[in-house]
Amino acid sequence: QSALTQPRSVSGSPGQSVTISCTGTSSDVGGYNYVSWYQQYPGKAPKLMIYDVSRRPSGVPDRFSGSKSGNTASLTISGLQAEDEADYYCCSYAGSYTFDFGTGTKVTVL
Amino acid sequence: QLQLQESGPGLVKPSETLSLSCTVSGGSISSSSHYWGWIRQPPGKGLEWLGSVHYSGSTYYSPSLMSRVTISVDTSKNHFSLKLTSVTATDTAVYYCATHLGDIVGGPFDPWGQGTLVTVSS
């Protein structure tokens, strides 16, 4: 069991799109369609933004979308807004009732 | 709407046992459809899943911490608990409780408690 790999940071101007990658192995990301993404503001608890690779919980803006190809999942934020500046973590089911989180990505709105 | 709230000591001495509880409101911890989990985050670092439990008593642990972690459910108090033995400074973290949205197989974590900081220091 090991952490999934994410870029340390990504940035974009308001209105642009940014994509965060989450790379694992065939034992986690590549093996199951159970990737979720969380948004975390400083000092706050994480909030679920995407689950089952591409499903959005009620209340999450459709600017947030998820996808997966092989052992890499991605979160795309379209039409970037100032309020999207936060840390983002991916998480994947890793079999045998275990879960791996990603290393985390800081999104900066320029 | 489920709400979760962590509680417990904010300071634990090295080699001792960290004990936290998570109180569930807005629903019953005995719901067969819910699994309950613990996740931690060292200061300035990423998230780490510690383990999860079902009200029936079934437990699921991170392989890297399995030897030191125990998670249990108290249905009479509608809460579940975390015990982490033989702690060191590397166990200093914000500890979150959360519920799985759906089944333990793949179920994402939603909602989360607000988190509680536990510092390991003499």
- Work out the percent of chain B whose per-residue pLDDT is above 90: 85
Closest CA relative to residue B118, chosen from B44, B3, B7? B7
**Measured between CB atoms, which of A48, A89, A101 is closest to B110?**
A48
- Reported confidence tier of residue B104, pLDDT bands at 50, 70, 90: confident
pLDDT in tens, B36-51: 999 999 999 999 999 9
In sequence order, what are the residues at sequence separation of 6 or more whose Cβ sits closer than 8 angstroms to the Cβ of residue A101?
Answer: A3, A4, A89, A90, A91, B39, B46, B47, B48, B49
For residue A20, the SS3 value is strand
Please say if the pLDDT value at position B88 is more than 80. Answer: yes
pLDDT in tens, B24-35: 999 999 887 889
What's residue B101's pLDDT? 85
Per DSSP, B45 falls in state S
What's residue B31's pLDDT? 81
Q: How far is B9 from chain A (nearest CA, A)?
A: 19
What's residue B32's pLDDT? 72
What the block records as the tokens of A43 is 């000092």
Q: Using H for helix, E for strand and C for coil, what is the string for A41-65?
A: CCCCCCEEEEECCCECCCCCCCCEE
What is the average pLDDT across B84-103?
95
pLDDT in tens, A72-94: 999 999 999 999 999 999 999 99
Mean residue pLDDT across chain B = 95
Q: How far is B17 from chain A (nearest CA, A)?
A: 23
CA distance A79 to A15: 4
pLDDT in tens, A19-66: 999 999 999 999 999 999 999 999 999 999 999 999 999 999 999 999
Q: Is some CB atom of chain B closer than 8 A to the CB atom of A48?
A: yes
Per DSSP, A3 falls in state P
What's residue A1's pLDDT? 66
- Work out the percent of chain B whose per-residue pLDDT is above 70: 100
CA distance A4 to A46: 17
Q: Is some CB atom of chain B closer than 8 A to the CB atom of A67?
A: no
